[in-house]
Structure 1
Amino acid sequence: MTLWGAALGAFLAAGVLLAAARIRAIRRPSLDARVLAYVRDLPMATRPATAPVSAAAGVFGPLLRAAAEMVEQTLGGAATVRRRLERAGIDRTVHEFRVEQVLWGLAAFAVAAGYGLLRTLADPGNAVPSLVLCAVAFVVGVLARDNRLTGQARARERRIVAEFPTVAELLALSVAAGESPVLALDRVVRRSGGELSAELGRVLAGIRTGQPVAAAFDALAARSGLPLVARFAAGIAVAVERGTPLADVLHAQAADVREAGRRELIESGARKEVLMMVPIVFLVLPVTVLFAFYPGVIGLHLTTP
């Protein structure tokens, strides 16, 4: 009986020790939890995928990469493409963008090939024009993706311009309330959303990883394609370095952007003055004339014997 009691006590003690060790391991914060609290604004590093590569990617991947390299050698301009990718906020490399261009070209090629096949079945003598059409469709698809990238960059810049006055006013209010530029930036980034807020989040991430405030805003001015954002970043960098009143600078920049937006709207209206007259001349004016003269015509018909 004493031996059984000792065995049961040993088993109980082992269970308690295992449970305590497991609870301690669960309660211990992981390395990610301890480190990411200080670099939470940095984009998460892409971990290598552990899933097996699909058969299609294994078969067609090398061909797509070779075609992308041919497109790069033919078109060139890797620096320009990289710059537009940054302006559009697209997290891709130039090579990945070239692969996407090839996919767009192949999609256009497939559409043209389908049309050419139907046309060849109807008239077998049109095989050569169909081949030429497929080649032209591939080139058009590749160039269409490049034009789409330019459109994405411009659309993002328009969104940044629209967001800029509000973000600048929020920063000015936070600084005027007594917060430092870094704390004001953190508050605005956490309370707002949008393209400009994402760019300021990158600036804040650089500051938190040890980059000087002026250098972080200089980097923002360098990668931005907008003069107003470059002036904004340069103004904050100078204000931090020299101690000039930052709130007044931000209020002035927000007012300048609003005034520039009003001027652009007036200029756009002046350029489209003729187009604005089209619905008046061809829609409103005929309806007005009809309502003015039709009752008189009806009255003349009624009074005429």
Structure 2
Amino acid sequence: MNVDLGWLGALCGLVAALGLALVWQRLPARRTPSLADCIEPYVAQAPRPSKYLGPSDARGGRAGTMVLRRIGSIVDSVLGGSASVNRRLERAGSRSSLEDFRAEQALYGCIAALAATLWVSMRVAAGNQSPLTAVLLVLIAAGGGVVLRDQLLTRAAEKRDRQILAEFPAVAELLALAVTAGEGAAAALERVARLSKGELAGELSRCLIDARAGASLPEALQGLADRTGLASLARFVDGIVVALERGTPLADVMRAQAQDARDAAKQELIELGGRRELAMMVPVVFLVLPVTILFAVWPGLAALRLTM
């Protein structure tokens, strides 16, 4: 069998040329400091640490990180939706910035494109794939890697929302008990955040940090509702904010909000049970019922065969 290795050699030559171009671009003689790099040591609040005292992999990964960030900026300009991404990053509790997330998307796309390139290179070398189709497959794989990272972020945000909703009734009850015992709103939040564990407790701790940093407690609570975006938690925060601003009894408001949280949790369980009941009908109708009918009808059919 004659194997045409021309496309494989051309691909290897292209990869080698790209590598040499990157090496040529990152040579010390070609790196000219920008104006921001020149004035940053004189305007920074703290002295810059020496790059030779940092981790050993920081110097080696800097060039790759810069390349990924540049590719990520291209991905951001093509896809857009920065507000949606920032919103989902906050909902997922991630500390990554938009640039970091776009760099991760670029990394996923590069890995998928590399895997697709290796696969189509073998097919092209064997003569089973046309070059145009191979290029299209590589581009589709790169886009699939970018979309995969976006879907993973969405799933992480939804998973964290479910965890917060599961923790919310217990936290609301604890807050109501603390306020009923005579503590103020800030003291009750601090006690519950200190004694509890979970995603909602972490959000309460962040709310207290914002309040200590200079924001008022209603503003910090409103920031908590805005970060999570959950309707039940937003109603709970609105009730507390209205009680603090108008001077209404906070204990009664907390108890009412805790009761509403328990009712909402019960309603969600009932709805979940209804959806699972419909899902259980599929194996019952298509698996259990036919087997039951077969066991009921088969003895009669066997008896008819014996009599005939």
Q: Please, what TM-score do these two structures have when normalized by structure 1?
A: 0.75
2:170 to 166, 172, 184: 166
Matched, 1:132 2:117: no
Structure-2 separation of matches of 1:124 and 1:252: 69
Q: Which amino acid aligns with 1:166?
A: A
Measured after TM superposition, the shift of residue 222 of structure 1 is 2.7
- The one-character-per-residue Cα deviations of 1:78-99 (angstroms, maximum 9, x if unpaired) are 2221121111110011001100
Q: Which residue matches 1:286?
A: 290
The residue that corresponds to 1:72 in the other structure is 76
Cα distance in 2 between the residues matched to 1:241 and 1:165: 24
1:257 pairs, out of 242, 256, 261, with 261
Q: Aligned-pair distance for 1:196?
A: 0.8
Give the CA deviation at 1:116: 0.7
Say yes or no: does 1:216 pair with 2:220: yes
Tell me the amino acid that sits aligned with residue 97 of structure 1. Answer: F
Structure 2: how far apart are the matches of 1:237 and 1:147?
A: 35
Tell me the equivalent position of 1:151. Answer: 155
CA distance in 1, matches of 2:73, 2:180: 53
Structure 1 residue 221, shift from structure 2 partner = 2.3
Mapped partners of 2:251, 2:296: distance in 1: 59
Cα deviation, 1:240-278, whole Å, max 9, x if unaligned, reads 233323233233223323333443444455566654321
- Following superposition, the deviation at residue 125 of structure 1 comes to 5.0
Partner Cα separation in structure 1 for residue 242 and residue 231 of structure 2: 16
- Map residues 230-269 of structure 1 onto 2, 5 A cutoff: 230-268=234-272
Q: Report the Cα distance in structure 2 between the residues aligned to 1:112 and 1:56, rounded to whole angstroms.
A: 26
Q: Deviations over 1:135-191 (max 9, x none)?
A: 111111112211221221122111111111010001111111222222221221122
Deviation of residue 293 (structure 1)?
A: 3.5
Measured against aligned partners, the alpha-carbon deviations of 1:6-40 in whole angstroms (never above 9, x if no partner) come to xxxxxxxxxxxxxxxxxxxxxxxxxxxxxxxxxxx
Distance 2:281 2:144 in 1: 36
- Rounded to whole Å, the distance in 2 between the matches of 1:184 and 1:67 is 47
Match for residue 191 of structure 2? 187
Once the two structures are superposed, the pairs formed by residues 194-213 of structure 1 within 5 Å of their partners are 194-213=198-217
Question: What do you get for the CA RMSD once the two structures are aligned?
Answer: 2.6
Distance 1:165 1:184 in 2: 15
What is the TM-score normalised by the length of structure 2? 0.75
Name the structure 2 match of 1:82. 86
2:105–2:145: 8 Å Cα contact kept in structure 1? yes
CA distance in structure 2 between the partners assigned to 1:301 and 1:246 by the alignment: 80
Distance between the aligned counterparts of 1:107 and 1:160, measured in 2? 33
Bigger Cα Rg? 1
Q: What is the one-letter code of the residue matched to 2:153? A: L
Query: Relative to structure 2, which stretch is displaced further, 125-134 or 56-65?
Result: 56-65
Q: How does 1:269-284 map to 2 (within 5 A)?
A: 275-284=279-288
Q: Partners of 2:62 and 2:207 in 1: how far apart?
A: 38
Q: 1:51 to 1:172 in 2, by over 3 A?
A: same
Q: Which amino acid aligns with 1:215?
A: E
Q: Which residue of 2 aligns with 1:39?
A: none
Consecutive unaligned residues in structure 2, runs of 5 or more? 1-47
Are 1:62 and 2:66 matched, yes or no?
A: yes
SS in 2 for 1:120: helix
- TM-superposed CA distance for 1:113, in Å, is 1.3
Deviation at 1:299, TM superposition (A): 5.5
CA distance in 2, matches of 1:151, 1:82: 15
Counterpart of 1:150, as a letter, is T
Tell me the residue number matched to 2:24: none
Rounded to whole Å, the distance in 1 between the matches of 2:183 and 2:59 is 55
SS of 1:71's partner is helix
**Counterpart of 1:228?**
232
Distance 1:80 1:201 in 2: 25
Whether the 8 Å CA contact 2:120–2:129 is kept in 1: the answer is: no
Measure, in 2, the Cα distance between the counterparts of 1:214 and 1:274. Answer: 43
Q: Is the 8 A contact 2:179 2:254 kept in 1?
A: no
